[in-house]
Amino acid sequence: MLKAGRIRALGAMSGTSLDGVDAAVVETDGERIFGFGDTRYRPYTDAERVVLAAALGRWQGEGLAPALEVVQAAHEEALSGFEGIDLVGFHGQTLAHEPRGRGTHQLGDGDALAEALGLPVIWDFRSADIQLGGEGAPLAPFYHFACAQWIGADEPLAFLNLGGVGNLTWVDPRKARPEEDGALLAFDTGPANAPINDMMQARRGLPCDRGGVLARQGAVAQGALERFLEDGYFLKMPPKSLDRDAFRGMTAEVAGLDDADAVATLTAMSAAAVLRGMEHCPELPARVLVTGGGRKNPVLMEMIAVALDCPVEPVEEAGLDGDMLEAQAFAHLAVRVARGLPTSCPGTTGVRAGVSGGTLSRPRQKDAS
């Protein structure tokens, strides 16, 4: 039985950028944030990244043993050694996401992780939402609501996560609860870092365009950008979500460009997707707080900021940790699941009603003898 009140939860996140596992402690009762604890980052090796990349798009039973071994080992290493932990939130590694098709697939074994850590683990956060008609993503918005209250926000603001895929959460912190009507609107904006990273890996053997250096040297191919924005996804009303590779055509659009122009164009596409997404917000936010690896790309940040009439800042400007926000989110959500509180609602995933998604795995009791 989870103790009442404030507890120490440990969350882990391995995003679609395939960079590594983030682990972070949050002190929370599932509604309020009381404080933050230790963090850890366990990067994937080049060899592990190759194994995971080869598994993208696959579903259960499709020869995933090598990838599962990578995911389990990396998470066990990242999550071991934290002190005073009551509960673990384990997201796993997203390989495929088809909310109107085969569902969603986050590779990982919560039962095995609970045994390895000797702690209760909440996992499989997305399936219940999809089964009830939701998109299964994004799930961080309920944590964003708690963050908005923790920083003392008193007017609407937005959290923009620039990971492999971009997602936006519009928050009205004046509401009492995240599931309240009008408190949240959330959706995936479009591709963010994934196509840039894939291009850098394919052409330069590098994991990303660090500091936006290559993009700044290039010129945006306007025709390719305009064709990208013709995709029907941008006209679709939220909530809505994407698979990591939903915009595969981006690569073909820049195939004939030199490296700098190709990366500049992909970066402009990611920024334009965010700007199209902002058009869906109920009102202009007072500020946009950016999390995820994309906030470290000054070219991408400048492309977004120049087109908006509000400050666009890394979440660190509000006293939050942009590297660990997603891991913290799954720590917070794990507590909500354990206490039967909703983790998604119509405004975040389009689910028919607020739903608490997740599976609880407990380590087996050791024999007293």
Tens of pLDDT along 334-364?
Answer: 999 999 999 999 999 999 999 999 999 999 8
- As a whole number of angstroms, the distance between CA 209 and CA 225 comes to 19
pLDDT (tens digit, 9 = 90+) per residue, 249-268? 888 999 999 999 999 999 99
- As a whole number of angstroms, the distance between CA 257 and CA 250 comes to 12
pLDDT (tens digit, 9 = 90+) per residue, 157-199? 999 999 889 999 999 999 999 999 999 999 999 999 999 999 9
Q: Where are the domains of the chain?
A: 7-132, 152-318
Cis check for the bond before 138: say yes or no (omega within 30 of 0): yes
pLDDT (tens digit, 9 = 90+) per residue, 40-83? 999 999 999 999 999 999 998 889 999 999 999 999 999 999 99
pLDDT (tens digit, 9 = 90+) per residue, 201-249? 999 999 899 999 999 999 999 999 999 999 999 999 998 888 777 888 8
pLDDT band at 369; cut points 50, 70, 90:
very low
- As a whole number of angstroms, the distance between CA 277 and CA 102 comes to 26
Domain 152-318: what homologous superfamily?
A: ATPase, nucleotide binding domain (3.30.420.40)
CATH class of 7-132: alpha beta
pLDDT for res 248: 82
- As a whole number of angstroms, the distance between CA 30 and CA 248 comes to 38
- Fold agreement between 7-132 and 152-318: yes
**Taking residues 133-147, what's their average pLDDT?**
94
Which residue from 83, 74, 63 is spatially nearest to 14, judged by alpha carbons? 74
Which residue from 333, 357, 355, 358 is spatially nearest to 346, judged by alpha carbons? 355
Question: Helical H runs in 108-218?
Answer: 110-117, 127-131, 141-150, 193-204, 213-217
Q: For residue 189, give the 3-state DSSP assignment.
A: strand
**Taking residues 25-52, what's their average pLDDT?**
97
